[in-house]
Amino acid sequence: MNNPETPSAVSPPDANTLSLTDRYWRAANYLSVGQIYLLDNPLLREPLKPEHIKPRLLGHWGTTPGLNFIYVHLNRIIRARDLNLIYICGPGHGGPGMVANTWLEGSYSEIYPDIGNDAEGMRKLFRQFSFPGGIPSHAAPETPGSINEGGELGYGLVHAYGAVFDNPDLIAACVIGDGEAETGPLAASWHSTKFINPARDGAVLPILHLNGYKIANPTLLARTSDEDLEQLFRGYGYLPLFVEGDDPAIMHQDMAIACDKAFDHIHNIQRQAREQTAQTGVPQWPLIILRSPKGWTGPKEVDGKMTENFWRSHQVPVAECREDDGHRHILEQWLRSYRPEELFDDSGCLKDELRRLAPEGERRMGANPHANGGLLRKPLRLPPIADYAVKICRRGEVQAQSTAVLAAYLRDIFTLNEEQAHFRLFGPDETASNRLSRVFEATSRVTMQEIRSYDEQLSHSGRVMEVLSEHLCQGWLEGYLLTGRHGLFTCYEAFIHIVDSMFNQHAKWLKVSRKLAWRQPISSLNYLLSSHVWRQDHNGYSHQDPGFVDLVANKKADVVRIYLPPDANTLLWVGDHCLNTYDRINVIIAGKQPEPQWLTMEEAIAHCEAGMGIWPWAGNEHDSEHGPDVVMACAGDVPTMETLAAVELLRQHLPELTVRVVNVVDIMALQSSDQHPHGYQNAEFDQLFTTDRPVIFAWHGYPALIHRLTYKRRNHANLHVHGFMEEGTTTTPFDMTVLNQVDRYHLALAALHHVTELRGNAKADQLARLLEQKLEQHYHHVREFGDDLPEVRDWTWQAINQKTAG
């Protein structure tokens, strides 16, 4: 777009406002220091004694005065313009600042009435910080106004953008520390403006806070000249506004001006976009670059060593306050430098003239409902899955691409919720590759960059977010969910490991926030992993890794679910189910290639609701008077197909062998019921897997996961898991299974081997030789012709009972 006029000169607020602003900032700083240090004597009504000091001093002072400075200036601008604004605190280590400010504005005590807005409340506020049974040292779910777990750095900005998509009235002010700015995910996040449509989305105001130092080192951007920073951020597409210095009086004035300019500019961009019918180009959004001293207003020196404006103020700048009179004196001077008597009245309440500086009600950043997104969450309208069901006449005969079937269902979610505008699909340029292109019948990819005449499925108003960064996909989706919306992240299975650590942090967020009554449930984070390990034969070994679920299974049972639907109808049920859940992380692994379909919709529903079960039509127990000789278990589309092909061979060549087929969709059902809410009771489990028969388990991932989930089960010693053994390359799909012994021949051989009753059985030996010959034929053929044997490639299930009930 043609950019609106760059910000013109604005006048600073009057001196009285600036003076009040400074006092409010001092109050926040005072409360921050108090949290780090004080057990008692919160208002310093008496000289500081050792017993007033906490025995273990924890917390991060360095970043905090800057965070407080920004908070008070945002308060001013919210009031002045009646803004709907949330504060994303990238340097979440500065937890004391967020807590201090929400206490000052009153939102803290509303959520936690035990921590009142008076001297006793202040005492408790100080005491609980980083104290056993109290609150964590970082911005966290417990922190009002936060949607960002502030422990692991790098995700503040991407969360901010996720928060404002489809929230046209919302502005996310996002503070980015200069440490955080060195991370890869943050460096990529700056490009997010290329996806922000000012007509329908809100705005992000990034505030890059250069306080100079990390734990023990200067930061890269703080030691970069203003000229280079200006070029860098103009190159990223921003309009940088600099605020630099250490004199509070001047800094307050400069920051107020910069904020006014920035919000004028945001307003102009949005007004211009919203008055036009179409937008072109990426607007140049404002960015504030704030250079202020690390540990600003803290001790200049401790023990003769430079502290303020240096990395030594990163955590607790003066450490021996309980034991060392000199240190305690420094602390007392420091606290008194904020002149608490000018800030708080006799009862410990913030003075009235300061209290009036904070916004009111939901305009307070600690009370903004967007930062407790469940409050705003509206249900997603979902179409009936039966409408998309694949018709099954003869089992295994019809072929379908599971994800392509789901795509039609997803397409209609876009249509049904067009008005609500609260659903998006995220992926690293893989929507088409994962066979989800049918969503483009209802929407398109979004970009604000140039769109050319020959571009396809690309517009300024699309709801599919594609960027070649799993970090951005994950972070945008997290921000979108945390502010009360819905979404799905589709990704190649191997590369979801790129966001392992983001997954961890989101799981931690959910675990904690579920226990906070005031935090309303948010929609689940749903992963659809396709292009999975067994069908990355074309891309090769680097693209073959099924280990993400191992990480997922480590998390708290009430937070995580893992589903491997074996066909399209089961995928429909699973997809629909996951989109209906909240406060969870659902991992769905599904195929995208044409593959045999097994269950009618009715059967799929029953099977998925049970989580796992016997497929009676696949086995031959009905021919037998006793139970099965062997259980052939499977989970995942390719292992299921190979298991059925193995069973077919067994039934054809050795019909006297009684075979049971068990398919597992919901992996957590394997765990004991005392370990996971979806876990089967032991008796139920034994009914499926028996207590003494060999179980040949064909599993999608690394075998160890099945062992760890089932090791408490009675029949565990008879469980023989075939799965990915880290053998991969560029080859054919069937060869991938052979390399890892998850193919039909190895599975059937395993059954013959483990059924001890078959030892010495001539027919069984004959079958074993046949299977070994088949493997030889395969090895020969695939290396000679570069393709799988037709009998494998074109295999369909031919065993008896293939007709469905319907």
Burial of 289 (0-12, 13-18, 19+ CB in 10 A): buried
Site for a second copy in 721-750 (CB under 8 A): 726, 729-732, 735
For residue 790, state whether it binds a second copy (rule: CB under 8 A): no
Cβ proximity to a second copy: between 504 and 801 the closer is: 504
CB of 593 to a second copy, least distance (A): 13
Q: Which stretch binds a second copy (CB under 8 A): 256-264, 428-436, 676-684, 768-776?
A: 428-436
CB of 557 to a second copy, least distance (A): 9
Q: Which stretch binds a second copy (CB under 8 A): 101-109, 506-514, 617-625, 653-661?
A: 506-514
For residue 531, state whether it binds a second copy (rule: CB under 8 A): no
For residue 652, state whether it binds a second copy (rule: CB under 8 A): no
Residue of 547, 566, 575, 591 that binds a second copy (CB under 8 A)? 547
Residue of 512, 516, 610, 770 that binds a second copy (CB under 8 A)? 512
For residue 707, state whether it binds a second copy (rule: CB under 8 A): yes
Cβ proximity to a second copy: between 691 and 798 the closer is: 691
Contact 691, 715 (CB under 8 A): yes
Residue of 26, 214, 535, 700 that binds a second copy (CB under 8 A)? 214
Total binding residues toward a second copy, as defined by CB under 8 A: 118
Site for a second copy in 485-504 (CB under 8 A): 494-495, 497-498, 500-501, 504
Beta strands in 314-457 (DSSP E): 399-401, 423-427, 445-446
Site for a second copy in 49-68 (CB under 8 A): 54-56, 58
Q: What angle separates helix 325-336 from helix 15-37, to the nearest 10 degrees?
A: 150
Residue of 52, 438, 508, 774 that binds a second copy (CB under 8 A)? 508
Contacts of 791 (CB under 8 A, 6+ apart): none
Contact 178, 209 (CB under 8 A): yes
Cβ proximity to a second copy: between 91 and 168 the closer is: 91
Q: What whole-number distance in Å separates Cα of residue 440 and Cα of residue 98?
A: 42
Element (H, E) at 466: strand 464-466
- Cα Rg, the chain, nearest whole Å: 31
For residue 554, state whether it binds a second copy (rule: CB under 8 A): yes
- Paired sense of beta strands 399-401 and 594-596, if any: antiparallel
- Calculate the alpha carbon distances from 444 to 403, 453, 579 in Å: 18, 15, 21
Beta strands in 547-653 (DSSP E): 560-563, 585-589, 594-596, 612-614, 630-635
Cβ proximity to a second copy: between 54 and 700 the closer is: 54
Cβ proximity to a second copy: between 351 and 514 the closer is: 514
The number of C-alpha atoms within 13 Å of 390 and in the hemisphere containing its C-beta is: 30
Cβ proximity to a second copy: between 404 and 416 the closer is: 404
Q: Tell me, what DSSP letter sits at residue 192? A: G
Q: What whole-number distance in Å separates Cα of residue 600 and Cα of residue 395?
A: 9
Residue 283's SS3 state is: coil
Beta strands in 723-762 (DSSP E): none
Site for a second copy in 127-166 (CB under 8 A): 127, 130-138, 140, 149-154
Site for a second copy in 556-585 (CB under 8 A): 556
Cβ proximity to a second copy: between 551 and 610 the closer is: 551
Site for a second copy in 670-689 (CB under 8 A): none
CB of 253 to a second copy, least distance (A): 27
Residue of 341, 429, 776, 791 that binds a second copy (CB under 8 A)? 429
Site for a second copy in 166-185 (CB under 8 A): 179-180, 182-185
Q: What whole-number distance in Å separates Cα of residue 377 and Cα of residue 17?
A: 37
CB of 91 to a second copy, least distance (A): 11
CB of 363 to a second copy, least distance (A): 29
Cβ proximity to a second copy: between 399 and 580 the closer is: 399
33-49 b/e with 16+ CB inside 10 Å = b? bbbbbbbebbbbeeebe
For residue 702, state whether it binds a second copy (rule: CB under 8 A): yes
- Calculate the alpha carbon distances from 533 to 236, 574, 748, 778 in Å: 36, 20, 22, 20
Cβ proximity to a second copy: between 214 and 700 the closer is: 214
For residue 752, state whether it binds a second copy (rule: CB under 8 A): no
For residue 320, state whether it binds a second copy (rule: CB under 8 A): no
Q: Which stretch binds a second copy (CB under 8 A): 362-370, 468-476, 568-576, 595-603?
A: 468-476
Cβ proximity to a second copy: between 441 and 602 the closer is: 441
For residue 543, state whether it binds a second copy (rule: CB under 8 A): yes
For residue 514, state whether it binds a second copy (rule: CB under 8 A): no
Cβ proximity to a second copy: between 77 and 174 the closer is: 174
Burial of 665 (0-12, 13-18, 19+ CB in 10 A): buried
- Measure the N-to-C terminal CA separation of the chain; round to a whole number of Å: 58
Burial of 28 (0-12, 13-18, 19+ CB in 10 A): buried
Q: What whole-number distance in Å separates Cα of residue 371 and Cα of residue 394?
A: 51
Q: What whole-number distance in Å separates Cα of residue 434 and Cα of residue 436?
A: 6
Instruction: Order across the sheet with 695-699: list the strands.
Output: 612-614, 659-664, 630-635, 695-699, 719-722
Residue of 162, 237, 298, 636 that binds a second copy (CB under 8 A)? 237
Residue of 105, 332, 478, 545 that binds a second copy (CB under 8 A)? 545
Residue of 250, 386, 468, 800 that binds a second copy (CB under 8 A)? 468
For residue 691, state whether it binds a second copy (rule: CB under 8 A): no
The number of C-alpha atoms within 13 Å of 293 and in the hemisphere containing its C-beta is: 17
Quick note: the x/- pattern for a second copy over 260-299, rule CB under 8 A, is ----------------------------------------
Strand partners, 289: 208, 242
